Amino acid sequence: MEARRALLAVPVLAGALALGGCAQGADSQAPGAAPSSSSPAAPIPSWAKVTGPPHIVPAVRDFRPANGIGWRPTKGARIVVPAGEKSTVADEAQLMAKDLGGLAVVWGNQDVRPGDVEVKLSGGAKGPDNAPGSTVDESYTLAARGGRLTLTAPTDAGVFYGTRTVKQAVRNAGGLPEGTIEDGPDRPQRGMLLDNARKSFTADWIEARIRQLADLKLNQLQLHFSDDQGFRIQSDSHPDIVSADHLTKDQVRHLIKVGQSLHVTLIPEIDSPGHLGAVLDHYPDLRLRNASGTPLRGAIDISNPQAGALIDSLLKEYAQLFPGPYWHLGGDEYQALMSSDPEARYPQLARAAQDKYGPGATIKDLATGWLNDRQKTVQAAGKTRIEAWNDGFFAGGKVAADKNRTVAYWTGKEIGARDPAEFLREGRTVLNLNDEFLYYVLGEPNNFTYPTGERIYKSWTPLVLRHTSPVSVPSSLTGADRIPGARFAIWNDRAQAQTAQQIAAGIRMPLAALAQKTWDPRTPALSWPDFKALVNRL
């Protein structure tokens, strides 16, 4: 708790909030609730009426207007937390107080006066340690009534998202209109992937992105920190593999704590059995070689028992660094399987497959077994939500991918790529990273173009997993339990094509559009020009 509080010194709203006089007296209550104050006749502060509906990003799901002047932050207004200073919502209350220009926070059983904001937990969270167990647990209610504002949610995550709504509403319109907001996300996983292996980013730049994600109610940041071009986090077990430009473990711990304070989970990815060039530069004997003895850049020889031992040692080390249940195994673009005749070009892999899995086994079986073994390693370290790229899952064969592995679906363009409908019919969970809409690839190689917020806003939904059309399966297979959400991916294939500042500018509108489309499945009420103008105001 103390570590989280120390991280809440975020900048206040752009420009000083105009603070006026505030009368004192009556308690706050949600519509229909019993008052908790003995002075209900206290006068309502006088301020210019806040007109609605509220316009924020992402848009609120439901707003029921009422007659009244709404709520604005005023001089003498307070954040009231009945649950006390040691409650799970204490951090969120303090953050909102800072965002609103430095309001006072008071704890315990206090009269809620006109102008105040009351922050309350409604209970009912099913996740451990008050963490969200579903999108319902990330929901919140905001009621502006009688000059007071009441924020209620089942978890501190829901409270946090309510504070983001208040922050944006004050910035955009000065406050919240009279009435009640009922809000919550459509998809539980909403976020961004950063390839910080091919291009190094400072800890400050990454922290700024975490704060940006949080303000948009996005809750995940995947770090692809190992690839052919670099290994970007300090290693104690294999210090030789670490690139000169890298994050220290203390910097990563700080970023994790920032994320925790803002309800953004950091998800690590060590890609294998491909994309391992930076590691294999120091272990050349473990490089995959073709039939003529030529080594392949980035591919590890999965027929060599020492290969698994090396990668497992890294998985164990970083599983201790990154808390939480998530782990991404990679599994994409293994060069042996991108050949027209893998068994002929890589006979050692073909032999190993049959030795391990019997006659008829193929290199695909060997690669599937490789990821299964790596999954066992991270599961033993406490990871329970395991992901891999869709081109690391194969149809048929003698070895099946672990049934609990999530398919991170990025492309339907690779050789032999399977339709996402197949995975859904198999009972798998499929996360959306559709490269047609959600891939920001530096330098635009291989016919990639920089994605635009407008195209995501107008044409994409979480159901558009491949190409440009929604996946063709019954609606019972497309709910949040099966397609849990999406991530916007930044890939630095041509690392010098843009600076970090240019990337930050380029992803701003796409992230806002992604936030809108993963929060609310309906067609947005605002036109694209109006949405873009709103984003610029906020």
Q: What would the two tokens of residue 212 be?
A: 């940006």
Q: Is residue 53 part of a domain?
A: no
Shared-domain flag, residues 262 and 314: yes
Shared-domain flag, residues 72 and 88: yes
Shared-domain flag, residues 159 and 237: no
Of 140, 156, 183, which residue constitutes the final position of a domain? 183
State yes or no: is 333 an active-site residue.
yes
Asked if the model's pLDDT at residue 40 lies above 90, the reply is no
Residue 518 is predicted with a pLDDT of 98
Residue 417 is predicted with a pLDDT of 81
Contacts 24+ apart (CB under 8 A), 9-17: 9/98, 10/95, 10/98, 10/99, 10/211, 12/98, 12/99, 12/100, 12/101, 12/102, 13/99, 13/100, 13/101, 13/167, 13/170, 13/171, 14/171, 16/101, 17/73, 17/100, 17/101, 17/170
Q: What would the two tokens of residue 103 be?
A: 């309001």
3-state helix, strand, coil in the chain (%, to 5): 35, 20, 50
Report how far apart, in Å, the C-alpha atoms of 77 and of each of 17, 103, 370, 487 are: 12, 6, 59, 38
Per-residue pLDDT reduced to its tens digit, 65-101: 999 999 999 999 999 999 999 999 999 999 999 999 9
Domain CATH number, residue 153: 3.30.379.10
Shared-domain flag, residues 341 and 392: yes
Which domain, by its residues, includes 247?
189-537
Share of the chain above pLDDT 70, in %: 90
Average pLDDT over residues 181-196: 98
Shared-domain flag, residues 215 and 100: no
Shared-domain flag, residues 451 and 305: yes
Catalytic residue among 178, 317, 333, 436: 333
Distance CA(229)–CA(277), nearest Å, equals 7
Q: What would the two tokens of residue 383 be?
A: 């990871």
Residue 124 is predicted with a pLDDT of 60
Residue 302 is predicted with a pLDDT of 98
Domain count, the chain: 2
Share of the chain above pLDDT 90, in %: 86
Band the pLDDT of 190: cuts 50, 70, 90. Answer: very high
Q: Is residue 143 part of a domain?
A: yes
CA atoms within 13 A on the CB side of 308: 16
Q: Is residue 43 part of a domain?
A: no
**Does a cis peptide bond (omega within 30 degrees of 0) precede residue 273?**
yes
Of 148, 183, 218, which residue constitutes the final position of a domain? 183
Per-residue pLDDT reduced to its tens digit, 420-470: 999 999 999 999 999 999 999 999 999 999 999 999 999 999 999 999 999
Q: What is the separation, in whole angstroms, between the first and last Cα of the chain?
A: 29
Per-residue pLDDT reduced to its tens digit, 493-521: 999 999 999 999 999 999 999 999 999 98
Radius of gyration over every alpha carbon of the chain, rounded to an integer in angstroms: 25
Contacting residues for 124 by C-beta, under 8 A, at least 6 apart: 137, 154
CB 97 within 8 A of CB 103: yes
Domain CATH number, residue 353: 3.20.20.80
Residue 416 is predicted with a pLDDT of 65
- pTM, to two decimals: 0.90
Asked if the model's pLDDT at residue 263 lies above 80, the reply is yes
Residue type, 212: Q
Shared-domain flag, residues 206 and 67: no
What is the side-by-side strand order in the sheet with 117-121? 62-65, 179-183, 140-145, 148-153, 117-121, 78-81, 104-107
Residue 470 is predicted with a pLDDT of 97
Per-residue pLDDT reduced to its tens digit, 107-133: 999 999 999 999 999 976 444 344 455
Shared-domain flag, residues 196 and 158: no
Residue 123 is predicted with a pLDDT of 73
Per-residue pLDDT reduced to its tens digit, 138-182: 999 999 999 999 999 999 999 999 999 999 999 999 999 999 999
Residue 133 is predicted with a pLDDT of 52
Residue 412 is predicted with a pLDDT of 81
Shared-domain flag, residues 113 and 193: no
Q: Is residue 286 part of a domain?
A: yes
Residue 44 is predicted with a pLDDT of 72
Q: What would the two tokens of residue 241 be?
A: 């593999």
Q: What would the two tokens of residue 44 be?
A: 């309502």
Shared-domain flag, residues 172 and 198: no
Contacting residues for 141 by C-beta, under 8 A, at least 6 apart: 30, 122, 150, 151, 152, 153, 162, 180, 181, 182, 183
Q: Is residue 195 part of a domain?
A: yes
Of 119, 148, 183, which residue constitutes the final position of a domain? 183
Q: What would the two tokens of residue 117 be?
A: 């904001």
Q: Is residue 37 part of a domain?
A: no
Average pLDDT over residues 247-264: 98
Q: Is residue 15 part of a domain?
A: no
Nearest to 456 by CA among 413, 507, 396, 384: 507
Residue 519 is predicted with a pLDDT of 98
**Does a cis peptide bond (omega within 30 degrees of 0) precede residue 82?**
no
Helix/strand number for the chain, H first, E second: 14, 18
Residue 46 is predicted with a pLDDT of 83
Contacting residues for 183 by C-beta, under 8 A, at least 6 apart: 60, 61, 62, 139, 140, 141, 142, 161, 162, 165
CB 264 within 8 A of CB 216: no
Q: Is residue 384 part of a domain?
A: yes
Per-residue pLDDT reduced to its tens digit, 378-388: 999 999 999 99
Asked if the model's pLDDT at residue 347 lies above 70, the reply is yes
Q: What would the two tokens of residue 282 be?
A: 């120091």
Asked if the model's pLDDT at residue 30 lies above 50, the reply is no
Strands 220-226 and 485-491: what pairing?
A: unpaired
Distance CA(42)–CA(56), nearest Å, equals 31
Shared-domain flag, residues 130 and 225: no
Average pLDDT over residues 478-482: 96
Average pLDDT over residues 254-268: 98
Distance CA(387)–CA(43), nearest Å, equals 56
Average pLDDT, the chain: 91
Residue 107 is predicted with a pLDDT of 97
Residue type, 241: I
Q: How many residues does the chain have?
A: 538
SS3 state at 499: coil
Asked if the model's pLDDT at residue 296 lies above 90, the reply is yes
Asked if the model's pLDDT at residue 254 lies above 80, the reply is yes
Shared-domain flag, residues 273 and 391: yes
Band the pLDDT of 42: cuts 50, 70, 90. Answer: low
Asked if the model's pLDDT at residue 45 lies above 90, the reply is no
